[in-house]
Structure 1
Amino acid sequence: MPIFALVDCNNFYASCEKLFDPTLKDTPVVVLSNNDGCVVARSAEAKALGIPMGAPWFQIREAAERQGVVAYSSNYALYADLSNRVVEVLSGFSPNVEVYSIDESFLELSGFAGVEPDLAAYGQRIRQRVADWLGLAVCVGIAPTKTLAKLANHCAKKMLAGSAGVCDFTVISDDALSRLFATIDVGEVWGVGRKIALRLDEMGIRTVEQLRRTDPDLIRRRFSVVLERTVRELRGLSCLALEEIAPPKQQIMSSRSFSRLLTERRELEEAVASYMATAAEKLRRQRCLAGVVQVYIRTNIFKPDEPQYQQSMALPLLAPSDDTRVLTAWALRILRRIYRDGYGYHKAGIMLLDLIPLHQRQASLFGVEQEEGGRPQALMQVLDEINARYGRRTLQFAAEGIARPWQMRRNRLSPSYTTKWDEIPAVLAR
């Protein structure tokens, strides 16, 4: 029987911010979205104050600060680096690890049942190791399926079923699980979103136990094979294998809101070129080529009293490519076609579609690759290697701009404690 563990970092973004500042130990902390817009993460203290997820910061700022809340801009470099370190630690507990998200990973523990008879104790060792080596708190859910492991992790966080940061469903009887699941809302099940939960509610299915006892074939007819698998997983039948290698993305998107409204096409072109450079780097990292480029722009939909305009367009390339120069050229062509003067633009984005593996590259009948850049692979490889060694944007294209006054606002950004030499925390003796 397979056994999975889901390890989830508690309040990850907020915990990362607290990690390097001891003065924040008992302080309510929130992390804000792009342009310091909405609350996207909360520490336990902030949750206790009733600060809602997704709340616009400008609306709650005064009240929150009166309660001692400290807000930070999203520090993605810090979060990504600490996430990688957590995965490194977890790799010491199982050779099979699936990184599910920036703060969650599945571990395969099937081979440990005999070696580690008490898997809950093994989960506690995982928690202690992450806490000792990284200073971060995690919860561990253990179960015979990935869906149940997610649910066990939920119970571990809520201290249900007598758990203390670790919940092991493999040692709980079916009757005890039934009583527990009867107290948990169906919306807590992995993959059951708000819309599905509403439809289930119409069928009288409101708890995890009710969903577990529903006929899987009926669920498949009413919903999908995906939700049918969820029901079977809740019954202990493993339908979802561990994905140690993330499958290639079917599309790559890069977009941001601007720190101010852009009224000149030149500034929009810089933004689009910058987003394309980011997307093209991701494309090469997964060793794929893009066959279609899409660009979209829009004004601020939250200001309906101002002139509104939004438009997007997708164009197929003459030949699939991963060359930043080629992709950027096509993106700028599209932008010039959809741009309209007289508007203040709030957001732009690009998307790479029709992705194919690099080894499936098909030469163009008319030799387009040579016409549009010569030896693109060698040049892009050098570009990526230099930026990987010396930091992002060490080398960049002039089209991306230098000053970038349109970049998203991050006025509350904490230092990059682990990724920049000049921002490493210093300990001073007094």
Structure 2
Amino acid sequence: MTRGPATPLPSPKARRRLREAASLTQTQLAERVGVAPGTVRAWESGRTTPRGRKREAYAKLLKTLAEEEARQAAPPPKTDPTRDRASGPEARAGAEAEPEPEAVREPEPVPEPEAVREPEPEPVPETVREPEPVREPTPESQPRSTREPVPEPRPAPAPLTPAQAFDALYEFSAPALVRQTFLLTGRREQARESVERAFQTAWERWPEVARDRDPVGWVRATAYEYALSPWQRFRPRHRHPEPPPADPGDRTLLNTLLRLPPRHRRTLVLYDGVGLDLPETAAETEASTPAAAHRLLRAREAVAGRLPALADPQVLHRRLAELASNERLGAARPPSVRRGGERRARFRTRAAIAFTVALIGTTALTVRTAPTHYEPPVSPGQAVRGVPPRVAPGSLSDEELELRQKLRDQLQDGPERLSPQLE
């Protein structure tokens, strides 16, 4: 049985815009759909996609919100004040009795001349028929030397394969994403690895990423999540610091960014570095718009407190771009990224298969060796009162040795039997 097509949904940004236009919070929308607020936050950021009945309910609710927004945005219909009269027999009778003024009366339609059918002319003899006008030469009848060149129709471009589309997306966005991730982490290798991991995840889920309206934003959100993961601090590479930028101004700006909390740093990079607007920044950071604005203001205050020259947002944007461009941050080739992701997927698949086989083998061995009936446990021993404890035999005394020898020398069969005799 084939699975039916999933219910179409708008983009994550459009979902957030519809919810905010209806003045609904994530908690209120989650209650109407029947899910947790965190689930709605993940849907609006594009991290997850609803499925099954939840997807149908979510799509129906978004469609209702879109219809309400379109109804509110539509202008009211214009009415003619001269025709705003009550409809009824009395009104119609009054309208027939009272003629309309000349300024309001509409002109009667006049038939166009083309609509009037002219009488057919009588046939003229061939001797009196007028000569036909000379036709101008068409482009086909002109000589090849004077004919204008006609451009040949270009063939339609062939559709791209998934690998070609992935390579085009990687070459277009990977260098910029590596520079942006460097502003978040301050580490070159970690930024490069985060972007490669994000693109490998995108290749594993390529049907979903290819249909997304903003595939670059999808990859950027995944790369930022991996780069800012708290597990990065436990890696051996994180213990060894990398050389700072050569320019003192760049070094001071980078240290100021790294002192910010991860959420404030990410919001500042997205808004002042990448150039996203506030709703898009809030959606990508999985926060509300007021919370994103508050984080942005706090981050700007912290940067301006240490570097007063960057209090202007335009100057801050230019300095962030210069800091990211001054570093030599390269990216791997698209085929190597795709092969690395495929190797990692094969390794995880084989590891899952091996773990499943080991679990099945362990379960079978346990079932095979387990007892088939109940064996009651042996109760611990208890001392009985009045019975002397059992003593181990020791060496015999002289009297005991003499008695033993005497018993051995005597007959062991007992006394001789008396045979009965007749009297």
Question: TM range, normalised to the smaller chain?
Answer: under 0.3
- 1 or 2, which has the higher strand percentage? 1
Larger radius of gyration: 2
- 1 or 2, which has the higher helix percentage? 2
Q: Name the TM-score, length of structure 1 as normaliser.
A: 0.22
